[in-house]
Chain A
């Protein structure tokens, strides 16, 4: 899964562009979703100073560039990290390659709108829900949408109303109110900028629960061409096996790549994610394989991995590996 030499084709992979005000939580999201950092440890993360491009390459259906922008990013003024030309991107996922290697002034280039938005991409704008008023952030969002639209009319725009946790958001009602407020204001701002045709979807997210995984899954699905086929296959599966619900997961990131057309119940999704945690954690204890020298060998999650969990209400969770 680790390709030490970045391929030229990597740069043609769809981009997920994480933007938003300083300290809104962009880097934390990446660390939690793709590097399994425990949420409480993200408090110690330094702020990002240059655009950081990484590659998510967990499986054939999860192939992305993820661009983490500094909060004070301005087009043309800030250079990006990463190799020159075709070299961009470091591995994300189960294992990380070393950071910051080969970054000289030579490898930097100026970024303009075409450089950022001129490829299939999703703009993810991270808004700190605990940092009211949102006026400045929303102005920035509209500016980004306008720039993005001008070069890439098919740009997906997604807003994470982030950090809906802690004392300010104890009840669901608070969260829903906040989402309604933000959505309303975005619609208004877009109208004022004559951009009302742009579709902006909002997600309430927090790194302390599963909402960030759910939201990120949705973005990944939007950028996956094979999605309708996979959804159809899952629909066949559940009708043939009389299942209630099915998810196709990327085990490494816990994102789901597709699900059948039955409605997604957040709790079922959470339980499936937790099940993967259980399977991987237990396998790490008892399922480690050793080679002749007594050293650990191969991934603990392998092609024979499977699990069944029984619950008191008759529900059965079943997990197994499907072919890559």
Chain B
């Protein structure tokens, strides 16, 4: 819950978290404290420990930071260490707390900042960096995490092909696969154009909130069906580590048929996403 973050205290040194993703893919998350004193030890005594065998670096900039110069020098220090110990790491930069910037300025502030960071980084290093603008108050954070996780899912291309044919068979407008524990998007097939590019992140956000409220009653969310006169959305457990969402707008297709089709496809999909 976003508002509960107010109670968080500053991270001391490095906090380790594990997230089990798609069953057997364990992400070790190292949450590194951002105070100056910690940076000194990251760059110095802990350098080897922190920066060796890094698969993914997610660096978070505060968009409202008062001291961008210091932020940049820290970032350059990190890049230098990554370049030395884990040159193959994938790099992501989040320009965070975007909610503090007026909505109409967000895009330009983001592009400015991106240009500045990229300019400095590429002058010395040869990394490809993916940028996201984020805020904990909306779906942008999911967008970022989905983008990051997408690059880590094996077989993602083959998976999308399979999903496309299932979508075709079911006559669905859209099918989306979500990771079970995090509800992040891992693949989608879209057969009817939709104007909202952030819709998957919004759905993730909506379902995650609802899962929290189910948790209070000691029950887990299994699946749901929602519809009005224009559409039916059907979300259900799919493979052992994913949920599937099917969007139908053709009122001649009964959801029971879709359920049977989806059920039949389950076994085949287990091979791609356990």
- Enumerate chain A interface residues (CB-CB to B < 8 A): 39-40, 208, 267-268, 270-271, 274-275, 277-279, 281-283, 285-289, 300-313, 315
Contacts and interface: CB of A to CB of B under 8 A. Distances in A.
Contacts of B196: 285
A287 B228 contact: yes
A43 to B, nearest CB: 11
Nearest to A271: B213
Given A40-B3, A313-B218, A285 B210 contact: no
Interface in B188-210: 194, 196, 199, 202-203, 206-207, 209-210
B154 to A, nearest CB: 28
B214 A311 contact: yes
Interface SS of chain B: helix, strand, loop or mixed? Answer: mixed
Contacts of A274: 209-210, 213
> Which 7 pairs from chain A and chain B are nearest by CB?
A312-B220, A304-B229, A311-B219, A310-B222, A309-B224, A313-B219, A274-B213
Contacts of B249: 286
A306 B226 CA distance: 6
A312 B222 contact: yes
B119 to A, nearest CB: 35
Given A39-B3, A288-B230, 15 more contacts: A267-B217, A271-B214, A274-B209, A282-B226, A283-B228, A286-B249, A287-B228, A304-B228, A306-B226, A309-B224, A310-B223, A311-B217, A312-B220, A312-B221, A315-B219
A312 B221 CA distance: 6
B218 A310 contact: no
Contacts of B223: 309-310
Interface of B: 3, 173, 194, 196, 199, 202-203, 206-207, 209-210, 213-214, 216-231, 233, 247, 249
23 contacts: A270-B216, A271-B214, A271-B217, A274-B210, A277-B209, A278-B206, A281-B206, A282-B203, A283-B226, A286-B194, A286-B199, A286-B231, A287-B228, A288-B230, A304-B227, A307-B224, A309-B210, A310-B222, A310-B223, A310-B224, A312-B219, A312-B221, A313-B219
A282 B235 CA distance: 11
B203 A307 contact: no
A306 B206 contact: no
B97 to A, nearest CB: 14
Given A268-B217, A278-B210, A315-B219, A285 B202 contact: yes
Nearest to A317: B224
Contacts of A268: 217
Contact of B216 (A267, A279, A309, A315): A267
A182 to B, nearest CB: 26
Nearest to A267: B217
Nearest to A307: B226
Given A274-B209, A281-B206, A285-B203, A308 B228 contact: no
Contacts of A305: 227-229
Contacts of B228: 283, 287, 300-302, 304-306
A274 B173 CA distance: 26
